[in-house]
Amino acid sequence: MGVDWMLNALTILTYLDFDFDTARFILQRIKNLA
């Protein structure tokens, strides 16, 4: 899983109006599971 995927996920989360801390937490969880 590359950086591009992370940026895309963060962009999507931002578009869905997540706050950055929540988005970062979710990305960390996904990264740990992947």
Q: How far is CA 28 from the centre of its chain?
A: 7
Give domain limits for the chain: 3-33
pLDDT at 11: 84
Inter-residue contact 10 to 22 (CB < 8 Å): no
User: In whole angstroms, what is the distance from residue 1 CA to residue 20 CA?
Assistant: 20
Q: What is the pLDDT along the chain (34 residues), one digit of tens a residue?
A: 578 888 888 788 777 776 778 878 888 998 888 6
pLDDT at 6: 80
Structure tokens at 29: 């969880």
- Rg of the chain (C-alpha set): 9
Global pTM reads 0.40
pLDDT at 1: 57
User: In whole angstroms, what is the distance from residue 1 CA to residue 21 CA?
Assistant: 21
